[in-house]
Chains A and B, each alone.
Chain A
Amino acid sequence: MTTFLQLMLNGLGKGAVFALLALGFVVIFKATEVVNFAHGSLVLFGGYLVLVTKDTVGWAAAAVIGIVSAGLLALAVERLLLARSRHADPFSLALLTIGVDVIITEEVVRRLGVSLPFIGDAWDAKPLQFAGVTLFRTHLVALGVAAVLITAFFLAFRYTTWGIALRAQAENPEAAALVGIRRSRVTASAWLIAGLLAGVAVLFIATQDFSGAGLSRGTHSIALAAFPAAIIGGLDSTAGAIVGGLAVGLVDALSTEYISFAFAKSAVFLVMLVVLVVRPAGLFGTRETTRV
């Protein structure tokens, strides 16, 4: 029972971070129908900036720099590349992000070399023991931060003009354009937000508690594991991103123990496949992804 409880806690803690990553996929997809394969490289880029600045400006300032840089990089990718290919369909643009991902990832990994830098200084490896189970501080902070950010996101999504514009564009781009919503602005803001979320997520990922590894190619793989999270929830559903993220965290933790560790990675993807076959647009997704 303790084992089960501990695994649930491990899974939820990780799931919170997956939810943040998945939300990044969802925001972009909702605004533009583009699936951003470069999300992992945004995560790496943000982490890298934390790493190179933290010794001079201190960890907290470095964390802010990292988050903002990841956001700005995302914005730059959208403005400088995607926005310049207006004629291209979402399918081609998704392919384009693969190219972007390869370049950014390879460069950051090259710069990292063989070092294993951890960047979760504020919370990493300071666990709390409680009634026979261990609460990892990184997980706790991640859950808290995810809860705050996601709540803020939902409120903004519902009540601000930005949120209304984004939803309008997601539902009917032509009509949104007619009522004066500027597509480029909504799209750019979606990318910026996704980048910021990636920058936040990496502060939890490149830690001993979360990944057991510092910033590395592995950080990029973890962002890839958020793909199933976004898909399970439904690529155009913000609520789905949360559910998907937590689901991925739990499936991973529980299948490690009750099936096998080697299977856990496939288990997440198999759950995704089953969801897709039963509901091709994900659990909470609505959008038909094809045009007749």
Chain B
Amino acid sequence: MSKLLWIPVAVVLLALPLYLDASWLKAGQYMMIGAVGAIGLTLLSGQAGQLSLAHGFFLLVGATSYSVLSGTDDDLVGLGLNPLLALIGAVAISALAGVAFAPVAGRVRGIYLGVASLALVFLGLYLGQAAGSLTGGTSTGRAPATFELFGFSFSNEGTLIVAGVPLRGTERLWYLFLILLALSYWLAKGAVGTRIGRSWRAVRDNEAAATAMGVDVRRTKAGVFAVSSAYAGLAGVMIVLWFDILKPDENEFGTYGINTSIAFLAMAIIGGLGSIPGAVAGAVVVYGLPQLLTLYSTDLGWFTGSVTPVLVSSFVYGAAIVLVVLFEPGGLAAIGRRIKELRS
């Protein structure tokens, strides 16, 4: 994207909380969570060619780590750290969890790896339930510490009025998420354009050639798993802040389950595997659509009986995957590039 185009985009995104109701902000924040996670997965599956269906698991690792590191509950394990430290810690722990998967990732390739990674989702389901002292258990879950930055609380606490609009928890969280997304985006862009990104693509395209050029394939795979998991972990922290609760899943189709993993993969595919702006666009489609349709549903009156916003969104993203693979393997990113070429 042209550097200049960023200015209006940024201004609009910064101004939105002054106009939009809390519901719309919630929906927007949800898309940002998706975008952060999808950027991580597009690095792993798109740039480095490692299929992963374990993204939901790493979300859970990040979510749990943040809750434990920042938690102050008496009956649960909690270290009571400063929330910013807890966030950084959670991202680091998620990265380590990604590295721990390296022995498998290093040996198992392609589609086998995708199925192997599915094991982590089931492991996460089990651990989330079994490790109740960390996760709070499926019965009650646990409330995460409110995020704070240098004494400023991202909650309804205190009054902060900008342009006549009181900024309450939801508005504040919007800005926090915006910063986290911008940072994630910028870091990923930096990595992809340089040495580390080249080594990922080399591993994806030809392991023998990568090796001959001095790339340690095993280490690179472990590394990209770590990076991708760190992104997922950050998305996990964001999701507990968004929900105001960490609640481990009761079954494999929950917040950190298979469907989530597939949704993230769908974002990466629809956006165009490997493309960072594409991943953000994919997140807007996959996570934005159900939210926006739900908010509009009362006004629209479209959805009756078994046709629900969630169902319609599933159809849309299922079809989008099929269409992308059939007609435009570069996804939304390639379509965007083409439009740009047409205009210039």
Give A residues with C-beta under 8 Å from B.
Answer: 35, 81, 84-85, 88, 90-96, 98-103, 106-107, 110-111, 113, 217, 221, 224, 227-228, 231, 235, 262-263, 265-266, 268-270, 272-273, 276-277, 280-281, 289-290, 292
B 69-125 contacts with A by CB, 8 A: 103-104, 107-112, 114-116, 118-119, 122-123, 125
Q: Which residues on A sit within 8 Å (CB–CB) of B208?
A: 292
Q: Which residues on A sit within 8 Å (CB–CB) of B110?
A: 91, 289-290
CB distance B318 to A289 under 8 Å?
A: no
Choose one: B49, B108, B207, B318; the contact of A102 (CB below 8 Å). Answer: B318
CB distance B321 to A98 under 8 Å?
A: yes
CB distance A289 to B266 under 8 Å?
A: no
Across chains A and B, which 9 residue pairs bring their CB atoms closest together, nearest first?
A99-B321, A102-B318, A269-B119, A103-B318, A96-B325, A99-B322, A266-B126, A35-B111, A266-B122
CB distance A102 to B321 under 8 Å?
A: yes
For chains A and B in complex, what number of residue pairs have CB atoms within 8 angstroms? 129
Give B residues with C-beta under 8 Å from A.
Answer: 49, 51, 103-104, 107-112, 114-116, 118-119, 122-123, 125-126, 129-130, 206-208, 252-253, 258, 262, 265-266, 269, 306-307, 311, 314-315, 317-322, 325-326, 329
CB distance A276 to B321 under 8 Å?
A: no
CB distance B123 to A102 under 8 Å?
A: no
List 17 extra interface pairs beyond A265-B252, A266-B126, CB under 8 A: A35-B111, A81-B322, A84-B326, A85-B326, A88-B325, A92-B329, A95-B269, A98-B262, A102-B315, A227-B115, A231-B116, A235-B111, A262-B126, A262-B130, A266-B122, A269-B123, A272-B119
CB distance B109 to A269 under 8 Å?
A: no
Q: Which residues on A sit within 8 Å (CB–CB) of B321?
A: 95-96, 98-99, 102
CB distance A281 to B112 under 8 Å?
A: yes
Q: Which residues on A sit within 8 Å (CB–CB) of B122?
A: 265-266, 268-269
CB distance B108 to A280 under 8 Å?
A: yes
**Most chain B beta-carbon neighbours within 10 Å: one of A91, A96, A99, A262:** A99
- CA A223 – CA B313 in complex, angstroms? 24
- Interface of chain B: mostly helix, strand, loop or mixed: helix
Q: How far is the CB of A270 from chain B (nearest CB, A)?
A: 6
Q: How far is the CB of B151 from chain A (nearest CB, A)?
A: 42
- CA A281 – CA B258 in complex, angstroms? 23
Q: Which residues on A sit within 8 Å (CB–CB) of B109?
A: 280, 289-290
Q: Which residues on B sit within 8 Å (CB–CB) of A265?
A: 122, 125-126, 252
With A110-B307, A262-B126 known as contacts, the answer to whether A276 contacts B116 (CB < 8 A) is yes
A-B contact pairs, 23 of them (CB 8 A): A35-B115, A91-B49, A92-B325, A95-B269, A95-B325, A96-B321, A98-B265, A99-B320, A99-B322, A102-B266, A228-B115, A235-B112, A265-B126, A266-B123, A266-B125, A266-B126, A268-B122, A269-B122, A276-B107, A277-B103, A280-B112, A292-B206, A292-B208
- CA A220 – CA B108 in complex, angstroms? 26
- CA A153 – CA B306 in complex, angstroms? 40
Q: Which residues on A sit within 8 Å (CB–CB) of B115?
A: 35, 227-228, 231, 272
